[in-house]
Amino acid sequence: MVTTANKLEGHGTRFIVRMAIVRIALFVLLLIGLAINYFVFWLPWRDSRAAQSWVDTPCRIIASDVKVVDEGGRSGKTFYIDITYQYQIPGGHRFSSEYDFTGGFRRSWNSCEEVVQRYPAGQQSVCYVNPQNYSEAVLSRSIEISWITPFLVLFPLALLVLTAQRRGKRLRSHQPTN
């Protein structure tokens, strides 16, 4: 039976340490990719699916604007949808500022401006209210994913594949000769 130890037999300690570091780095990249995938894709998708059964409820847009946050440095400005609407529930009314399930994920100026123009202040619209929890409401049940989102998942995955491929080539080139 050929084990990893047998494959590495004849290699120096430095090579074995490097291989351990590569494995740890691959594991860390995998965890980062999984965490990003969970928060950016899985949670919004799960909430969006659950909201398909929420009740269509008339609402009135109170305020609608693009919020600009200047983060300075290299990251520059970040844009958010800043929207507030009022909707009726049994026994009163509620306010919400949730547009969708992306949790304020970064958006481009243009995508924020499109939403603000679609929902101007004073307009009557429809929001979707959770019948089990009236404080949960959204204007959009769909998931609008930014163009950069796929790269947040694909980049760690590509690094994982490239590193594994490089590791395989290096391991084959360091095979001891008999």
Q: What are the tens digits of pLDDT across the range 28-47?
A: 877 887 787 788 778 888 89
CA-wise closest residue to 64 among 135, 112, 127, 134: 112
pTM of the predicted model as reported, rounded to 2 decimal places: 0.67
- Proportion of the chain in helix, strand, coil states, percent, rounded to 5: 45, 25, 30
Res 168: pLDDT: 67
| DSSP strand pairing (92-96 vs 55-70) | unpaired
Q: What are the tens digits of pLDDT across the range 108-146?
A: 788 889 999 999 999 999 999 999 999 999 999 887 665
- The structural domains of the chain, with segments of one domain joined by +, span 4-44+152-173, 55-140
- What b/e string do you get for 66-79 counting C-beta neighbours within 10 Å, with b at 16 or more? beeeeeeeeeeeeb
Q: Which one has a higher pLDDT value, 171 or 99?
A: 99
Res 149: pLDDT: 60
Burial of 137 (0-12, 13-18, 19+ CB in 10 A): buried
Arithmetic mean of pLDDT, 91-120:
87
Assess contact for 48 and 119: CB atoms under 8 A: no
Arithmetic mean of pLDDT, 138-160:
70
DSSP 58: E
Of the listed ranges 53-67, 128-142, 163-177, the least confidently predicted one is 163-177
